[in-house]
């Protein structure tokens, strides 16, 4: 059968954000959490523009309609983006703000402030804001200033002449990032309510005071988003770390890809800004509210209303781990799985902490992709070096938007004597693994940790991931081969357990899918269930489609972008695609293959995207213990296939719809069920 046309990756990614935005719409969600999800979508869109928009924009500006990026692709994307942004602000203005107002929580505009409140705002402006503002009047000696990525600014059109008798009428006011975007009014002015003013409103009310002797005619806040994906030619640099640090200095001033202005911005000022940033009209977004909704997350902390937030969830220590016993002793008996964040990331830290303080541990090797700027894990590695252990860290310097933190950690570890390597030229090291070597009698014993997620204690509280601790000699030996390969660039020996990208992972996945297709054609009962963040690799997609056409039953649990069109009659009838969007961010990658009674399950750091298969160092590994494998099937796959609350199913046209309530079954959400099973909720 002919394959149907694949779905558009970028439009699929925007459809994912529509599903996230639904959490801000749902009235069963606490109000401050609805605001948080609105801000999450704004943050996601910022990153989308920073990373995905530039090729479409460049093709449109060049009027080049060849290939994947074209005038048409830019127009389709712009249509979807404008609709999503309009929906965001309609939700903000028509539902969320009125709901806050009913609870006595208001963000007051200048017109809504009484005389006493205006006097307080005036004093705040004079004391805290005005000293940091430098309005720039534009003329030949004062050209349009450099405007940083995503910064808040004002453009002002003035009447009259300047101090030198000239009629330059445009000025720019850049707003420092250090200023808070929301300011709470004192209780004595709030009359029992929680009243706030936005920084943009404060500046807007006092713009005229910045231009003595001139009349403010027109003005608007504005914000420009720039292409921010660092591009470094690794083959042409002597020191990747220094090249990236220099690149970071220019990231805030890359090519402009989006311009946001107030809804009331005049055509004259909007056209002026578009010209300055070399943007077409469709890159202009007029918004009915603050140009940066992300910064409204400050309201959640400022309001101090826990009753308007989710009941706090506290994960318990991993059920398989016994705090009073050595982790090494436990691993000699059985592998350990930790299902984060339902079970605490403290289990991973406990493993490393014991290794650091155990005098029999000789060496620690670890990969670092995203660990954050403040990390107990990195401090433990520092302590391990201090205690004389051999510490090798593979730091991925090119982890997008974490480059600076990773460079700083690399420099710190190098300065105290750790061996720091940066992986393979041209590839990102995305695999998550830690290897401990311990002297036990006359032999050296290895203990390994493999994970679907990052070594980041903060995100480990928010992302669903699987940590796998093992003393399996074959797996840990192959982990050691990978570390040696990353450090020395030497050829890998033959691998029997680990599937590694860019060498084996892609072809092994395709071979596994094709083997099931042959089994299905032979009349055997076959099943594939795969859970991941994104599915965009064309070869894997077409392999799945072909397998489905040959009789394999396939369920795909894909949180974000998915280009495989499911349930298309005559083409993909045997394939279902669903997306689960919950309170936590779905991040675990679990791949299940079954022929009759024989099943295999792999965990992985990789999504099924081309970049993960050919441009990254990734790992997938088997879970061979039958009991642990069944646990993963139950918790990561079955629970999500029967989720009746947070799941969305893809239709034949590629759109997603909420899963209808199953008849005759108790409706449940997978995340809620797992939180109930493993953790505890703080009682109020």
Closest Cα to residue 163, out of 145, 129, 139? 139
Active site residues: 430
Residue 301 has which token pair? 């902390």
Q: Long-range contacts of range 570-577, CB-CB < 8 Å, 24 or more positions apart?
A: 570/1, 571/1, 571/2, 571/3, 571/4, 571/545, 572/4, 572/545, 572/548, 573/548, 574/548, 574/549, 575/544, 575/545, 575/548, 576/649, 576/650, 577/535, 577/649, 577/650
Cβ count within 10 A of residue 351: 25
Secondary element (H or E) of residue 555: strand 553-558
Helix (H) or strand (E) holding 580: strand 575-580
Helices 31-52 and 71-91: crossing angle in degrees, nearest 10, is: 160
Asked if residue 341 lies in contact with residue 677, where contact means CB atoms within 8 angstroms, the answer is: no
∠579-22-37 over CA atoms, to 5°? 100
Report how far residue 496's alpha carbon sits from residue 519's, in angstroms, rounded to the nearest whole number: 23
Tell me phi and psi for residue 142, to 5 degrees: -130, 75
Cβ-contact 251, 242 below 8 angstroms = no
Among candidate residues 141, 139, 145, 136, the one with its CA nearest the CA of residue 210: 136
- Give the C-alpha distances (Å, rounded to integers) separating 529 from 190, 363, 512, 594: 55, 37, 12, 9
Long-range contacts: 230-236, Cβ < 8 Å, 24+? 230/398, 230/400, 230/403, 232/398, 234/425, 234/426, 235/425, 235/426
Residues whose CB falls within 8 Å of the CB of residue 544, separated by 6 or more in sequence, listed in order: 513, 528, 554, 556, 564, 575
Closest CA relative to residue 222, chosen from 182, 262, 253: 262
Across the beta sheet with 136-137, the strand order is 136-137, 170-174, 153-159, 215-226, 256-262, 284-287
How many angstroms from the chain centroid is the CA of residue 484?
Answer: 30
Phi, psi of 516 (to 5 degrees): -70, -35
**SS3 of residue 112 by DSSP:** helix
Residue 586 near residue 564, CB atoms below 8 Å: no
User: Of 396, 368, 370, 369, nearest to 382 (Cα)?
Assistant: 368
d(CA 488, CA 365): 14
How far is 200 from 205, CA to CA, in rounded Å?
9
How many CB atoms are located within 10 Å of the residue 238 CB?
6
Q: CA-CA distance, 352 to 343, in Å (whole number)?
A: 17
Whether residue 587 contacts residue 463, with contact meaning beta carbons closer than 8 Å, is answered with yes
SS3 43: helix
User: What is the radius of gyration, based on Cα positions, of the chain?
Assistant: 27
Locate 416 and state its tokens: 């105290």
């Amino acid at each position: 059968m002919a394959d149907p046309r694949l779905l558009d990756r970028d439009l699929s990614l925007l459809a994912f954000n529509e599903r996230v935005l639904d959490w801000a719409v749902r009235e069963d969600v606490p109000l401050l959490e609805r605001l948080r999800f609105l801000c999450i979508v704004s943050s996601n869109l910022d990153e989308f523009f920073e990373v995905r928009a530039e090729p479409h924009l460049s093709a449109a500006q060049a009027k080049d309609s060849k290939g994947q990026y074209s005038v048409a692709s830019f127009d389709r994307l712009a249509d979807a983006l404008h609709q999503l942004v309009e929906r965001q602000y309609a939700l903000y203005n028509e539902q969320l703000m009125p709901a806050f107002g009913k609870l006595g929580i208001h963000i007051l505009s200048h017109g809504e402030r009484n005389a006493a409140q205006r006097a307080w705002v005036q004093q705040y402006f004079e004391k805290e804001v005005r000293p940091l503002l430098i309005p720039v009047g534009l003329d030949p000696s004062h050209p349009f200033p450099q405007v940083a990525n995503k910064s808040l600014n004002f453009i002002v059109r003035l009447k009259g002449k300047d101090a030198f008798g000239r009629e330059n009428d445009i000025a720019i006011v850049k707003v420092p990032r250090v200023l808070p975007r929301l300011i709470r009014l004192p209780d004595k002015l709030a009359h029992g309510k929680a009243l706030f003013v936005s920084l943009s409103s404060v500046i807007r009310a006092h713009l005229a005071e910045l231009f003595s002797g001139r009349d403010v005619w027109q003005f608007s806040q504005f914000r420009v988003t720039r292409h921010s994906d660092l591009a470094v030619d690794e083959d042409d640099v002597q020191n990747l770390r220094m090249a990236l640090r220099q690149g970071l200095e220019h990231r805030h001033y890359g090519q402009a890809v989006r311009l946001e202005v107030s809804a009331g911005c005049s055509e004259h000022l909007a056209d002026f800004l578009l010209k300055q940033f070399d943007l077409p009209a469709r890159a202009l977004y007029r918004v009915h509210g603050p140009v940066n909704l992300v910064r409204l997350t400050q309201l959640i902390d400022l309001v101090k209303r826990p009753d308007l937030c989710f009941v706090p969830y506290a994960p318990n220590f991993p059920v398989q781990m016994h705090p009073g016993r050595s982790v090494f002793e436990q691993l000699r008996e059985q592998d350990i799985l930790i299902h984060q964040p339902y079970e605490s990331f403290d289990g991973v830290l406990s493993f490393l902490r014991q290794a650091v303080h155990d005098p029999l541990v000789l060496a620690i090797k670890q990969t670092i992709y995203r660990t954050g700027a403040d990390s107990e894990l990195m401090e433990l590695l520092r302590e391990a070096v201090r205690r004389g252990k051999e510490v090798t860290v593979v730091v991925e310097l090119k982890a997008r938007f974490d480059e600076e933190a990773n460079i700083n950690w690399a420099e710190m570890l190098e300065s105290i004597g750790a061996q720091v390597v940066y992986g393979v030229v041209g590839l990102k090291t995305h695999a998550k693994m830690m290897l401990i070597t311990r002297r036990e009698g006359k032999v050296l014993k290895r203990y390994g940790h493999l994970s679907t997620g990052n070594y980041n204690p903060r995100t480990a509280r928010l992302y669903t991931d699987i940590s796998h601790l093992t003393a399996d000699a074959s797996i840990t030996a192959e982990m050691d081969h990978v570390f040696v390969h990353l450090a020395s660039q030497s050829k890998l020996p033959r691998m029997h357990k680990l599937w590694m990208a860019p060498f084996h992972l892609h072809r092994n996945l395709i071979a596994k899918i094709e083997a099931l297709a042959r089994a299905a054609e032979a009349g055997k009962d076959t099943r594939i269930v795969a859970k991941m963040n994104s599915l965009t690799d064309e070869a894997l997609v077409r392999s799945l489609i072909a397998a489905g056409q040959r009789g394999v039953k396939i369920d795909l649990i894909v949180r974000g972008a998915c280009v495989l069109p499911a349930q298309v009659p005559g083409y993909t009838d045997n394939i279902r695609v669903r997306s689960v969007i919950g309170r936590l961010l779905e991040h675990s990658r679990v791949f299940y293959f079954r022929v009759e009674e024989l099943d295999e399950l792999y965990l992985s750091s990789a999504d099924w995207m081309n970049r993960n298969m050919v441009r990254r160092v990734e790992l997938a590994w088997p879970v061979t213990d039958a009991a642990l494998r069944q646990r993963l099937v139950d918790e990561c796959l079955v629970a999500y296939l029967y989720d009746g609350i947070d799941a969305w199913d893809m239709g034949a046209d590629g759109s997603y719809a909420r899963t209808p309530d199953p008849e005759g079954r108790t409706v449940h959400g997978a995340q809620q069920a797992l939180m109930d099973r493993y953790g505890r909720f703080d009682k109020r």
